[in-house]
Amino acid sequence: MSRKKEKIVIFDTTLRDGEQSPGASLNISEKVEIARELARLNVDVIEAGFPVSSPAQFEAVQRIADEVETTIAALARAKEVDIKAAADALRNTPHKRIHTFSSTSDYHILGKFGDDRYGKTLAEKRQTILKMSVDAVQYAKTFCDDVEFSAEDAGRTDIGYLADVVQAAIEAGATTVNIPDTTGYTLPWEFAAKIEELFKRVKNIDQTVISVHCHNDLGLAVANSLAAVQAGARQVEVTVNGIGERAGNASLEEFVMILNVRKDILPFFTDVNTREIYNASRMVSSFTGFPVQPNKAIVGKNAFAHESGIHQDGMLKSRSTYEIMKPEDVGVHRSKIILGRHSGRHGLKVRLKELGYHLSEDELNKTYQAFLKLADKKKEVYDEDLRFLMGDEIRGEEGFFKLEYLNVSIGTDAIPKATVRLMKQGKTVEKSAEGDGPVDAVFNAIDQALDMKYSIEDYQVRSVTSGRTAMGEVHVTVRNGTMEAHGRGVSTDIIEASGKAYLQAVNMIVQKKNELLKQGA
């Protein structure tokens, strides 16, 4: 007799924990575009950000809440100011969740709450934090019914104290209680035992949904999430491509496809539309600038490639010899539509829509111009080129400097010289400079145009599509005083890609400085 399958709620935190990955910087329109893609993936909850942390975070959460119909969560520490900011950002959506958290492990309590005003002894500090957690949940409940509470570093928290905090949070009204393995420290059976123990000790546990949020420091995030589900958790927090703090979070595509492929023995399901997985993966990769490793499960370039003769032969005879899921099930299509110089705006729009990008008329106009320039250089424009194009400067924020024009002269006996023309809100500025090489000359010319000096902390170039006219992608991290930012640029010309990447990073620093000025004002 077949057991009835139980639904696992998919809580996606790509835009919050994922965006906390070192080096990931998404602008607001990229976040909205990813949120729309997550809605097409049909995740249950989208955690859109941490509104109190900056005006840009606030605006991103607000725009996503206004424009996307899925339940939108916003993060808040157990502080009134944070919870109020989360509630304000979510004001216009009826589908909102406030997600508040406190630290519960002794490591965190002693590290973050060392001050005597939280109590002199560990026992006193624990009581203070329990009370702060209850107050936070109760305050959040004044704004919406759907409130999630997380016990940060639950993986390393004493089980007796954890059970007390969980019980108190449920009494205060938490509709979901999340048990994070914040440091990715636990082993699957150990984590499962912790969840089972909570089910035994917490008397009101049936009044909430138990969630888990596993980090990947030991490569166990997905295994721990799965073990927790076996032990009774019914919400899993994940990110696309597994991005997130340090080594990342549990990967959405891996967790979802495990339940899907092993439905023969796993009595669970999710509502995720798996055919949208590949689009989501590529969009997140191109907007964050984090490449997907070729051997990454489910979405890596080689995930469905069969190299050895024996494997290829087996596949030709029967696909099930070496394939446990079909590429089409996760949205990988083998037939490639090629666009070129003669493709029209409509053809481009339709293809982009199929790849998950929904553009306004204005965005389409800009994209089409960029596409035509690329088609002139490349002749054949593949899906991967389009995805990189979408992650490029056409997504640039209003009010940012754009690279209008670039000219570089080099020669075996000449000093490299670059001229750049930058444009911002109709105003242009043009400067020339020399450098140690063509890239250095471009960076110097941009510095002169902006009358600032930035140091280069990291610079990387790689080819992202194939052939002689391959697109080159440049990543650069720049610093000005204590501020650091990362930029990414793509072009068939790596000097131009370098200029774009540098300018994007510089724009981020200018934006951060303006935000700080506004906050101080």
Q: Are 109 and 103 in contact (CB under 8 A)?
A: yes
Residue number, 50 or 401, with CB nearest to ligand KIV:
50
385 and 374 Cβ atoms separated by less than 8 Å: yes
- Answer yes or no: are the C-beta atoms of 238 and 272 closer than 8 Å: no
Min CB(95)–ligand KIV separation in Å: 20
Closest CA relative to residue 242, chosen from 270, 280, 209: 280
Cα–Cα distance for residue pair 162/28, rounded to 1 Å: 36
List interacting residues with ligand KIV (CB under 6 A). 17, 101, 150, 152, 178, 180, 182, 213, 215
Q: Which is nearer to ligand KIV, 150 or 225 (CB)?
A: 150
> Can you tell me the distance from the alpha carbon of 234 to that of 237, in angstroms, rounded to the nearest whole number?
10
Q: Which does 150 bind (CB under 5 to 8 A by kind): ligand KIV, Zn ion, none?
A: ligand KIV
For residue 494, the Cα-to-chain-centroid distance in whole angstroms is 26
Q: Which is nearer to ligand KIV, 46 or 474 (CB)?
A: 46
- Which token pair is 185? 């420290």
Residue 400 CB, shortest distance to Zn ion, in Å, is 30
Tell the smallest beta-carbon distance from residue 93 to ligand KIV (Å).
21
- Maximum CA extent, the chain: 81
- Least Cβ distance, residue 184 to ligand KIV (angstroms): 9
Cβ of residue 283: shortest distance to Zn ion, in angstroms? 21
In the bound state with ligand KIV, the residue whose beta carbon lies nearer, of 17 and 392, is 17
Q: Does 153 bind Zn ion (CB under 5 A)?
A: no
Give the residue with the Cβ less far from ligand KIV, 155 or 487: 155
Q: Shortest Cβ distance from residue 389 to ligand KIV (Å)?
A: 32
First to last CA, the chain: 67
Nearer to ligand KIV, 152 or 385 (CB): 152
**Contact, 422 vs 450, CB < 8 A?**
yes
Task: Select from 272, 31, 253, 235 the least CA-distant residue to 146.
Answer: 235
Map residue 417 onto helix, strand or coil: strand
CA distance 107 to 122: 11
Establish if 473 lies at the interface with Zn ion (CB under 5 A).
no
DSSP helix/strand/coil, 238: strand
The smaller minimum CB distance to ligand KIV, of residues 74 and 386, is found at 74
List the structure tokens of 451: 């009358």
Out of 17, 82, 153, 392, name the contact with Zn ion by CB under 5 A. 17
251 binds, among Zn ion, ligand KIV, none (CB under 5 to 8 A by kind): none
Q: How far apart are CA 436 and CA 332, in angstroms?
A: 43
152 makes contact, choosing from ligand KIV, Zn ion, none, with CB < 5 to 8 Å by partner type, with: ligand KIV
- Indicate which of ligand KIV, Zn ion, none lies near residue 97 (CB less than 5 to 8 Å, by partner kind): none
Please classify residue 489 by burial: count the beta carbons closer than 10 Å to its beta carbon, then call 0-12 exposed, 13-18 middle and 19+ buried. Answer: buried
**Closest C-alpha among 286, 289, 296, 221 to residue 255:** 221
Q: Which is nearer to ligand KIV, 108 or 387 (CB)?
A: 108
CB of 213 to Zn ion, least distance (A): 6
30's contact among ligand KIV, Zn ion, none, with CB below 5 to 8 A by partner kind, is none
Closest contact distance (angstroms) between CB of 167 and ligand KIV is 19
- Which residues bind to Zn ion, rule: CB under 5 A? 17
